[in-house]
Amino acid sequence: MKKKIEISKVSLRPATEADREFAFNILKAAFGSYVTLQFGWDEQLQREIHRQRFRPSSTWIIKYDDREIGLLAFDRESDYIRVRQVFLLPDFQGYRIGAHLMKEILKESKQKSIPVRLQVLKVNNRAKVFYERMGFSVIGNTETHHKMEYEP
């Protein structure tokens, strides 16, 4: 039986450079199986990619009560919002925490009348279905990713 999650206990705190290793461990726990399916897991390569992409200034640590359980990274561009990462520890997936956080981003999108864009690995059908339920549509594809957009 699943534990009960109270959405009111979910919060965000700004990431810092000190969160770099935590963020990598969250990525590996939440997303590693999809990377492995698509590309195979190469620890050194994944650490290098993370080193290049981790930007504390546009990343938030997701907390439940006082426990750090995930990360959210997005950029506010002048004419759209780009969601880069939404990762939750496996024990906290499936409780609508991601939906709660995405609804906040979609609310900002509606207020500013700008779209939200993201991409999903093709092997991660669970994420694709999640974003489609949130109102996103596939607007293009690469060899490995679905490009998706929410238009307010």
Per-residue pLDDT tens digits for 103-139: 999 999 999 999 999 999 999 999 999 999 999 999 9
Q: What share of the chain is helix, strand, coil (3-state, %, to 5)?
A: 45, 30, 25
Q: Measured between alpha carbons, how far is 73 from 86 in angstroms, rounded to an integer?
A: 7
Residue 150's H or E segment, with its range, is strand 145-150
Q: Measured between alpha carbons, how far is 11 from 62 in angstroms, rounded to an integer?
A: 6
* pLDDT for the residue 111: 96
Residues 121, 74, 68: CA angle, nearest 5 degrees = 90
Question: How buried is 13 (Cβ within 10 angstroms: 0-12 exposed, 13-18 middle, 19+ buried)?
Answer: exposed
What is the per-residue pLDDT across 11-42, written as a single tens digit (0 to 9) for each?
999 999 999 999 999 999 998 988 887 888 89
Question: For residue 13, is it within any domain?
Answer: yes
Domain that holds residue 62: 8-150
30: domain CATH number is: 3.40.630.30
2 falls in which pLDDT band (50, 70, 90)? low
Amino acid at 26: I
Q: Domains in the chain: how many in total?
A: 1
Strand-by-strand arrangement of the 145-150 sheet = 10-14, 59-64, 67-76, 81-88, 116-121, 145-150, 137-141
Question: For residue 3, is it within any domain?
Answer: no
Which residues are 64's β-sheet partners?
A: 10, 67
* pTM exceeding the 0.85 threshold for the entire prediction: yes
* pLDDT for the residue 129: 96
Residue 89's nearest CA partner among 116, 109, 108, 61 is: 61
Q: Which two tokens mark 114?
A: 């700008």
* pLDDT for the residue 39: 87
Question: For residue 134, is it within any domain?
Answer: yes
For residue 4, give the DSSP letter: P
Question: For residue 1, is it within any domain?
Answer: no
